[in-house]
Each structure stands twice: as structure tokens, then as C-alpha cells.
A and B are shown apart, each in its own frame.
Chain A
Amino acid sequence: MNPLVLWFHKLGSPPYFYRLAGRLLPWLWGLGLISLAVGLYGGLVLAPSDYQQSDAFRIIYVHVPSAWMSLFIYGFMALNGFIALIWRIKLSETLAMAAAPIGAAFTFICLATGSLWGKPMWGTWWTWDARLTSELVLLFLYFGVMGLYQAIEDRRQASRAAAFLALVGIVNLPIVHFSVNWWNTLHQGSTVRLFGPSLIDSRMLWPLLIMAIATKFLFAASLLSRARVDLLELEAGKDWARQVALADGDAA
């Protein structure tokens, strides 16, 4: 068998994933916290203030990376849900469900910081324009996935039902992203562009990109921590889980 495919099969096995995640975790937390510190220092201290908004623009360093993560994590959750529904891989079910609360948290941070910025800049905490409304719908989709998962007794059935909801909700992602282009919104369009030049000075841009990397690491670290616990719980009766529990008991 192709070594990559073999590794992929191995990765799907809970004990292998549990050990691998355990080894990766300190690195992910470390890199996440370091890049978070660098990004925040760069954004809040080093970056020059904006000519119109002065220092209020600095909310971008929390708001925009959270907004990106809210979409990214939803995509990740839906992808794992897709794999879980078709191949019934336990790990994918666990990862999808472990990602949901983290995604909801980022979505909430995005909405809350946007609201804090909106009051002084726009003049209102909230307005029902297409971008804000679709992002709020995204938060409710996360809540729906989490609620459905908790509402069903059997863990594996619950995660498949919730995965299906997550998969259907994916239609909201392009709506959130393109809402500022499709409709007249109060929310501004995209500043940082994948194609073409970004509409932000490079001295302001680099901390933003570092923050985007930091949030990725923090998401990965948080996800793996949660998934490890969930896997132990799911496989509580299995030998490997008992061994882990015994080893932890010896160490303590």
C-alpha cells in the first residue's frame, strides 16, 4: 500500500491518533501562544494608527482573524462530517464535533468585537445588513450542530445527525463571504485579498497575517485537546483507553 494512504489509515485509529496528538500538543500550544504574542504586540503597539479611525482600527487584529476562523472551522467541521457520514470513521466524527464549540467561540468573538467597533465608527452596535445577518446565522448553525449532538443519546448516531446538519449549513459559507459584494451592506468589503493587492499598508498587514497563523495554531491545539478527551470517553471500554488511564494513574 502507498505509504501516505497507509499513514492515513493509521491516523484514523483512535489510539494512534491519541498518541500523535499528545506529542503534537505542546508544539501547537507553544507556537500558537508565541505567534499570538507577536501578532498582538505587532498589531496593538508597532502598527501605525489609521488616518481615519486612529487607534480604533486595531480591533481588526482580533475581529478579522476570528471571522476567517469562523468560516475555516465550519469548513473543517463540514468536511469531517462528510467523511464521517460516508466512511463512518470514528475520528472524523469526533473531530467534527470537537470543532463546533471552538468555531462558535470564534464566531462569537467576531460578532462581539465587530459590535464594539461598530458603535463608535458606524454609530450603531448592530444593523441587519447581509454580512452581519449571515454571520449571525453561522453562529446559530454552530449552536444547532452542538445542540443536536447533545440531544441524541447514542454518541455515534448523534455525531452523524449533527454532521448532516453541519454539511447542509455549508451553503451559508459563500453567502457570508460574498455578502458584501452581492448586496449593498453597511459592512465594508474585503481588505485583505488572496488575488490582487490588499487594501492595507504593509506595516499594518503583517501583524494581521501573524494573527491569522496564531488562530490556526490555537484552533489546532484546542481541537486536539478536545478530541483526545472525546476519544477516551468514546472508547472507554477498549484496552488502549484502559492502558492510558492506568499509565496516567501511575504517573500521578
Chain B
Amino acid sequence: MNPTRKRRLVVISLILGAVGIAAALTVLALQQNITYLYTPVEVQAGKVPPDARFRLGGMVKAGSIQRAGDSLKTGFTVTDGDADLAVEYTGILPDLFREKQSVVATGRMEGSRFVASEVLAKHDENYVPRDVAEAMAKAHKKHEVSEGAPAAQ
């Protein structure tokens, strides 16, 4: 390799290295600062400033969904396994919203309840055909396994 190219290679490698380190440091710093969502445990531990609007993430507790008969008001409980939080929402819920589904709700605390202005359903990375899901649900029922299987629709 001739000296000019070698010099260019060194200069460009150094610049890339510097940019890479800068990016890595930024990402590390953001790791602590960017919080897309809080879980019920974090909320109850007081990690969220009072009256702040924030996103609450967790699973919809089985059997906790209550729909009002005369309005779009829905109440449900979001759990992260360690703590529960009651959520209230008025509006149309996404298709994937159901029991044991991960949701992200945006809103603020009012007393001990979380009043959401937006509820998003989080989809997981599993893709299962309907027949397989049904077969799995049947097998789990037969062997009395309660958790872990995706519930068939």
C-alpha cells in the first residue's frame, strides 16, 4: 500500500474509532435517561414524579377487564408480576388488547388509579399459526398446564 493510501486509511480509521466511541458513550448515557415506560413496581416505589405524564407498561391481569355498559370506559389492572396498578381508560382499545397481553398506557396518576389517555398493545416476537395454537391449548388443558401456552382465540 502506498504512503498516501496508508495515511488516508489511518486517518479514516481514527475518525471512525472516535465516532464509534462517542456513539457508545451516548448510548450508555441514554441507557439511564431514556425511559420509554415505567412498570407498576417502579410507580409504587415513587420513581415517577407526582402529576407527571408517563407511560405505564405491563401485562393486563387475567379477569380484571371491566367494560362500562353505556360508554367506552374500560377499567383493568396492569401487573408486572410484583405489583398491580388499576388503570382507567375511555376510548377505543387496539385489536391486540386482551387479558395477559402486554400493554403500554400513557397518562397520569389520579390518587391510586392510573388514568390513561392512550392505551397501546405491545406485540411479542412470537408468530404461531391458529391451528398450532389451538392444538397447544388443547394439549395444555389435557395435561393441566395452566401457564406458558398462548391461549387460542
Point out the residue from A122, A191, A201 that lies within 8 Å of B122, measured CB to CB. A122
> A237 CA to B120 CA in the complex, in Å?
59
- CB-based contact A201/B128 at 8 Å: yes
Chain A-chain B contacts (Cβ-Cβ < 8 Å), number: 116
- CB-based contact A123/B118 at 8 Å: yes
**Residues from chain A with Cβ under 8 Å of B150 in the complex:** 51-52
Task: Pick the 10 closest A-B CB pairs, nearest first.
Answer: A123-B94, A51-B133, A48-B129, A171-B23, A200-B127, A191-B125, A188-B125, A122-B120, A123-B120, A189-B125
Q: Contacts A85-B8, A124-B118 given: A185-B36 contact, CB under 8 Å?
A: yes
Q: Is B5 an interface residue (CB 8 A)?
A: yes
Point out the residue from B57, B131, B132 that lies within 8 Å of A184, measured CB to CB. B57
Task: Tell me the count of chain A residues lying within 8 A, CB to CB, of chain B.
Answer: 43
Which residues of B9-23 are within 8 A (CB) of A? Answer: 9, 12, 15-16, 19-20, 22-23
**Residues from chain B with Cβ under 8 Å of A123 in the complex:** 92-94, 97, 118-121
Q: Is B31 an interface residue (CB 8 A)?
A: yes
Q: Is A33 an interface residue (CB 8 A)?
A: no
Q: Is B152 an interface residue (CB 8 A)?
A: yes
- CB-based contact A127/B127 at 8 Å: no
Task: Tell me the count of chain B residues lying within 8 A, CB to CB, of chain A.
Answer: 44
- CB-based contact A53/B123 at 8 Å: yes
Which residues of A162-198 are within 8 A (CB) of B? Answer: 167-168, 170-172, 175, 182-186, 188-191
**Residues from chain A with Cβ under 8 Å of B127 in the complex:** 50, 57, 60, 191, 199-201, 204
Q: Is A203 an interface residue (CB 8 A)?
A: yes
Q: Is B34 an interface residue (CB 8 A)?
A: yes
> A129 CA to B36 CA in the complex, in Å?
6
- CB-based contact A56/B27 at 8 Å: no
> A181 CA to B153 CA in the complex, in Å?
29
Mask of B78-122 contacts with A, CB within 8 angstroms, 1/0: 000000000000001111110000001000000000000011111
Would you give 12 A-B contacts (Cβ < 8 Å), ordered by A? A50-B128, A52-B150, A52-B153, A86-B8, A86-B9, A87-B5, A123-B119, A129-B36, A130-B34, A168-B19, A186-B120, A199-B125
Least CB distance, B1 to chain A, in whole angstroms: 9
Q: Is A30 an interface residue (CB 8 A)?
A: no
- CB-based contact B16/A167 at 8 Å: yes
Q: Which residue of B20, B34, B37, B150 has the most chain A CB atoms within 10 A of its CB atom?
A: B34
**Residues from chain A with Cβ under 8 Å of B152 in the complex:** 51
- CB-based contact A48/B36 at 8 Å: no
**Residues from chain B with Cβ under 8 Å of A167 in the complex:** 12, 16
Residue of B nearest to A184 (CB): B36
- CB-based contact B122/A186 at 8 Å: yes
Q: Contacts A186-B122, A189-B125 given: A52-B96 contact, CB under 8 Å?
A: yes
Q: Contacts A85-B8, A123-B119, A184-B57 given: A201-B129 contact, CB under 8 Å?
A: yes
**Residues from chain A with Cβ under 8 Å of B27 in the complex:** 175, 182
Least CB distance, B5 to chain A, in whole angstroms: 6
Q: Which residue of B8, B92, B118, B126 has the most chain A CB atoms within 10 A of its CB atom?
A: B126
Q: Is B146 an interface residue (CB 8 A)?
A: no
**Residues from chain A with Cβ under 8 Å of B95 in the complex:** 53, 56, 120-121
Residue of A nearest to B6 (CB): A86
> A52 CA to B128 CA in the complex, in Å?
8
- CB-based contact A49/B132 at 8 Å: no
